[in-house]
Amino acid sequence: MRSDTDRKLRDFLGAKTAKTFADVLEIETVGELLRHYPRRYLKKGELTPFDELEVGDQATVNGRVKKVTVRSLDTKADIPLADVQKWARRKTLTKVVVTDGRRDLELAFFNQPWLATKLTPGTAALFWGEVTMFRDTMQLKGPGTEILESEDLTEAEIERRARPFRPLYPATAKLPTATIERSVKIVLDSLDERIDDPIPDLILRNEKLFGLREALQKVHLPDTEKDIEDAQKRFRFEEALVMQTILAQRRAVTDALNAVPRPRTPGGLLDDFDKRLPFELTEGQSEVGEEIFADLARPHPMHRLLQGEVGSGKTVVALRAMLSVVDNGGQAALLAPTEVLAVQHHKTLTKMLGDLAEQGMLGGAEHATKVALLTGSLNAAGRRTAMLDAASGAAGIVVGTHALLEDKVQFADLGLVVVDEQHRFGVEQRAALSAKSGDNTPHVLVMTATPIPRTVAMTVFGDLAVSTLTQLPAGRSPIQSSVVPAKEKPEWLQRAWTRVREEVGKGHQVYVVCPRIGDDVKNATDEEGEFAAGEEEQGGKKQQARPPISVMQVSEALAEILPDLRVEILHGRLPADEKDAVMSRFAAGDIDVLIATTVIEVGVDVPNASTMVIMDADRFGISQLHQLRGRVGRGKVQGLCLLVTDLWPGSKSYGRLDAVASTTDGFELSRIDLETRREGDVLGVAQSGRRSSLKLLSVLRDEDVILAARHVANSIVSVDADLAEYPVLGAAVRSALESETTEYLEKT
């Protein structure tokens, strides 16, 4: 299908302009240009508030000149404004201060002294360029300029400037917003009255949306605020519809897959296990259990996400699901993100099951099963036994890392895969599973401690059912957290170490977490640390960040500060057996203080650990800090988390630490976290700044639009999964799937 919007730009614009569009913005067709929406609009006579500018932005501002100075870069002396023409060939710096009425912005022009005669005080003009920071002052360096009041203008120019709104486009110095505006106008004027619309007519009417032609006109050349709103509303809906159609199609495919139904059977392992549980299940645990049992009984694969705070008791829920499958003659695999965690899970499960896991052993219960551990660090014999147990079906439960899904590992009858502490379990991974189990795909339960807002779950995880554990098991007191500003108040850091000593004195144990290992120059990013905030501004200025504090540095320091305590280190580059040994000694209480990287982030369970000190806490993301501190206060002891930072109170990043210290509500923190990120990061998309299929839609703000579009997409796909009757929507879906930025959909 070929339409107007597929036509090449060079048929409409000059060859040179068309080439610039291709080179700078990768825009080659009419459709691509028209989908390059204005980022903002300038109401005539309105000045852009400068406080909305951010360093790094390609910004266009409307300002009034306040002051102009020209300086010679050779003599460092100011040049009288009357003389500037004489300096045309010399090195000069023209500084222009413009204002939006409240704040000033500095413009710096090199070697263009004549500008001083044009940009005289009082002149209103548009300026565009990159926002930079120079000695604490926000600047546009060498910006493009367009004086707004001027005599010698063409008629078209006068008409253009007389419009009530000026669109401001994402622009660059090579392709200023005014050029984009002119080009869009030319293209729009030559387009047909009707263009093919991905949104079906009936939907347009039902949802009261602009048709595509009208929306394009209004989004680029609006006459009123309402035009802008209505046009954007239409495009947001379209983006949501395309995305939800992709997800609805995907759900249809998943729903068509077969799975062996594993209905709950009384009188088996699960019932025995429930009877001997040393505690009552929380209400949430029971409810989620029932949801899972209902899913498992269906002849289609379950694909469910279980989210719950650290310590909310997800493991028990997973174990009950696994036992239910084993009761049905199937097997379950539990995948952990790291070997340390796989080992720990294996221990936990074995302990919880007691003689129910002692199949074939003296004293094993009647219908006991076997929990096998399969990791890369097993010796050949151990590995062979575990593989054999998986393949023969002797092991009802197999614990390992993702390597379990490798081809070599065979299962007798894999019925359920539980993925711990991860919320992404890719399409490919699921495909690998189906390949393993022939015509039947195993049920999948994914667990995460990172709460995911509803809209994100609906988009990024569109084909996932979501269960949430909201309570913590009874008797757990929420952890206390404080920020320790080590630079401002060094005595607080001293106090923190004293506190560590006191905790150990009370028989408790302590974690000290560092962002870096420190045995070489490389950052410890191999340990999934988030260094998002690493070089964040302080007092409005980017700081040359010193390297993050390392495990090695803290280890040296504590040898002096706490020489009498048993202090050891743990990080991802230790050999696996050494890691295990350290972890077991810590779990056994033979280590007082464990200095570690984020390897201890997920799943580690040492109830006797009461305190966590996080060094350079600002180097970690909000959600990550929340997860980390979930490692302490897991038993009856009161948990304490100290967030040590060199930041000064009052900076933005310090505020994030304050937020972590002031609430233990994971959903609230997750929301704060997501708000401070960009949309692309939310979707897990690399910020390439390239063409995006989501331009106006925000998965955080536009919940109602996404819900409405999801409803429409479901009804379309339920009767016409291939979109045969909706060729334009079909084309939009295909092009979205081709664009880089729907990669996030592929990963779920």
* Site residues for ligand ADP per CB under 6 A: 279-282, 285, 308, 310-316, 449, 473, 605, 634
CB of 698 to Mg ion, least distance (A): 31
Piece in contact with Mg ion (CB under 5 A), picked from 67-75, 210-218, 269-277, 596-604: 596-604
Residue 308 or 415 with smaller CB distance to ligand ADP: 308
Distance CA 531, CA 529 (A): 6
Q: Which of 344, 284, 325 is nearest to 445 (CA)?
A: 325
Name the binder of 416 from ligand ADP, Mg ion, none, CB < 5-8 A by kind: none
- Determine if 603 is a binding residue for Mg ion (CB under 5 A): yes
392 contacts: CB under 8 Å, gap ≥ 6: 412
Alpha helices in 225-312 (DSSP H): 225-256, 269-276, 283-296
- How many residues in the shown chain lie near Mg ion by CB under 5 A? 1
Distance CA 279, CA 352 (A): 12
Name the binder of 63 from Mg ion, ligand ADP, none, CB < 5-8 A by kind: none
Residue 319 or 733 with smaller CB distance to Mg ion: 319
DSSP 52: G
Residue 278 or 563 with smaller CB distance to ligand ADP: 278
Name the binder of 572 from Mg ion, ligand ADP, none, CB < 5-8 A by kind: none
Distance CA 552, CA 568 (A): 10
532 contacts: CB under 8 Å, gap ≥ 6: 621, 677
- Determine if 113 is a binding residue for Mg ion (CB under 5 A): no
CB of 476 to ligand ADP, least distance (A): 8
CB of 422 to ligand ADP, least distance (A): 12
CB of 560 to ligand ADP, least distance (A): 35
Residue 4 or 274 with smaller CB distance to ligand ADP: 274
Determine phi and psi for 110, rounding to 5 degrees.
Answer: -95, 135
Distance CA 701, CA 582 (A): 45
Residue 171 or 446 with smaller CB distance to Mg ion: 446
Name the binder of 281 from Mg ion, ligand ADP, none, CB < 5-8 A by kind: ligand ADP
CB of 281 to ligand ADP, least distance (A): 5
Structure tokens that stand for 431 in this block = 């495909």
Which residue is associated with the tokens 């016409």? 720
Q: Name the residue whose CB lies closest to ligand ADP.
A: 313
Name the binder of 634 from ligand ADP, Mg ion, none, CB < 5-8 A by kind: ligand ADP
CB of 10 to Mg ion, least distance (A): 58
Helix then strand then coil, % of the chain, to nearest 5 = 40, 20, 40
Residue 319 or 460 with smaller CB distance to ligand ADP: 319
CB of 309 to Mg ion, least distance (A): 10
Residue 313 or 639 with smaller CB distance to ligand ADP: 313
CB of 587 to ligand ADP, least distance (A): 12
CB of 622 to ligand ADP, least distance (A): 18
CB of 314 to Mg ion, least distance (A): 5
CB of 606 to Mg ion, least distance (A): 13
Name the binder of 61 from ligand ADP, Mg ion, none, CB < 5-8 A by kind: none
Cα dist. 200→28, 232, 287, 567 in Å? 26, 17, 40, 67
Residue 63 or 603 with smaller CB distance to Mg ion: 603
Name the binder of 725 from ligand ADP, Mg ion, none, CB < 5-8 A by kind: none
Piece in contact with Mg ion (CB under 5 A), picked from 16-24, 174-182, 388-396, 603-611: 603-611
Residue 316 or 549 with smaller CB distance to ligand ADP: 316
Name the binder of 308 from ligand ADP, Mg ion, none, CB < 5-8 A by kind: ligand ADP
Distance CA 611, CA 266 (A): 43
Residue 328 or 670 with smaller CB distance to ligand ADP: 670
For 104-134, the DSSP string reads: EEEEEEES-TTHHHHS-TT-EEEEEEEEEEE
Name the binder of 130 from ligand ADP, Mg ion, none, CB < 5-8 A by kind: none
Name the binder of 329 from Mg ion, ligand ADP, none, CB < 5-8 A by kind: none
Which residue is associated with the tokens 């048929």? 11
E-only strand ranges, 100-226: 104-110, 124-134, 137-141, 144-147, 165-168
Q: Which of 122, 65, 131 is nearest to 94 (CA)?
A: 65
Residue 168 or 449 with smaller CB distance to ligand ADP: 449
Residue 389 or 420 with smaller CB distance to ligand ADP: 420
Cα dist. 35→179, 184, 214, 686, 730 in Å? 16, 10, 13, 21, 18
Residue 488 or 605 with smaller CB distance to ligand ADP: 605
Q: Name the residue whose CB lies closest to Mg ion.
A: 603
For 664-729, the DSSP string reads: --HHHHHHHHHHTS-HHHHTT-----S--S-SS--TTT-HHHHHHHHHHHHHHHHH-TT-TT-HHH
CB of 439 to ligand ADP, least distance (A): 33
Start-to-end Cα distance in the chain: 30
Is 296 in contact with 261 (CB distance < 8 Å)? yes
CB of 306 to ligand ADP, least distance (A): 9
- Report angle CA 662, 664, 668 to the nearest 5 degrees: 90
Piece in contact with Mg ion (CB under 5 A), picked from 234-242, 246-254, 503-511, 600-608: 600-608
Sign of the dihedral defined by the CA atoms of residues 193, 199, 205, 211, in that order: negative
Name the binder of 605 from Mg ion, ligand ADP, none, CB < 5-8 A by kind: ligand ADP
Distance CA 388, CA 411 (A): 9
Residue 13 or 628 with smaller CB distance to Mg ion: 628
Name the binder of 311 from ligand ADP, Mg ion, none, CB < 5-8 A by kind: ligand ADP
Is 146 in contact with 107 (CB distance < 8 Å)? no
Piece in contact with Mg ion (CB under 5 A), picked from 545-553, 597-605, 642-650, 693-701: 597-605
Name the binder of 374 from ligand ADP, Mg ion, none, CB < 5-8 A by kind: none
Determine phi and psi for 659, rounding to 5 degrees.
Answer: -60, -45
CB of 609 to Mg ion, least distance (A): 15
- Specify the pairing of strand 137-141 against strand 104-110: parallel
For 536-590, the DSSP string reads: -EETTEE--PPPPPBHHHHHHHHHHHSTTS-EEEE-TTS-HHHHHHHHHHHHTT-
Structure tokens that stand for 277 in this block = 């549980």
CB of 375 to Mg ion, least distance (A): 17
Distance CA 231, CA 37 (A): 10
Residue 503 or 601 with smaller CB distance to Mg ion: 601
Return the number of other C-beta atoms located less than 10 Å from residue 376's C-beta. 11
Piece in contact with Mg ion (CB under 5 A), picked from 8-16, 258-266, 540-548, 595-603: 595-603
CB of 469 to ligand ADP, least distance (A): 7
Where in 63-92 is the site for Mg ion (CB under 5 A)? none
Residue 306 or 661 with smaller CB distance to ligand ADP: 306
Name the binder of 313 from Mg ion, ligand ADP, none, CB < 5-8 A by kind: ligand ADP
Distance CA 690, CA 25 (A): 8
Q: Which residues of this protein are in contact with Mg ion, per CB under 5 A?
A: 603
